[in-house]
Structure 1
């Protein structure tokens, strides 16, 4: 039986936020929004989440994805010119970024993504 709840924690919300939070709580199987928030706080405490903003992580990922996109454009240009293209390291970097993004997303929702990364080319591709 849980300890008696005699203390109160209050959070101010706009009417739109409250509606959205109620909807999210119910969609995750919680009877009340306070039950959902309690579970979020408990899971953050148990996981040792330091509360670093997800937006900072997403900005870093976006920068890395931009670099990967630039590398892919260079590989495509080389392939169109008939050069041998070595894309293994770029695909490895893409796969790493996908896994990082999945970890971030799994922290922000109850059911983590079941996405699987697929390789679509060999390490060396020669186009003529």
Structure 2
């Protein structure tokens, strides 16, 4: 099963990797065995990073006593992506309700129960809007409390 967070991660990685104002010009050469290089490259690719960025970020994280990888995915990233996917699904419900209401209001002779159905559609549309707002609030709170720049 593909999680929404995995799908959404593809869209988030590029926006996370903004260029720094300071250009990196210094170089440190490091040698690895062929197996080590394959493992490093594979790990970097899983995170959507270049090998050099991955190694450099790990070294700097170690130097600064931090175990998180800059630009790497966190639990908060997964949560926000899941909330974004949920919001999309809720928005689709709202769209479907609007389409139903439009069809019922399109004219012609009303059928028995149309006014009850329209009232229920309006109620569900309000609930969908409230749910979307609550999802937005939860995503904002998750990002704000994590200290991430998103």
Which bin holds the TM-score, normalised by the shorter protein?
0.3 to 0.5
Higher strand share: 1
Higher helix share: 2
Provide the TM-score with structure 2 as the length reference: 0.37
More relative contact order, 1 or 2 (CA 8 Å, 6+ apart) = 2
Query: Computing the radius of gyration over CA atoms, which structure comes out larger, 1 or 2?
Result: 2
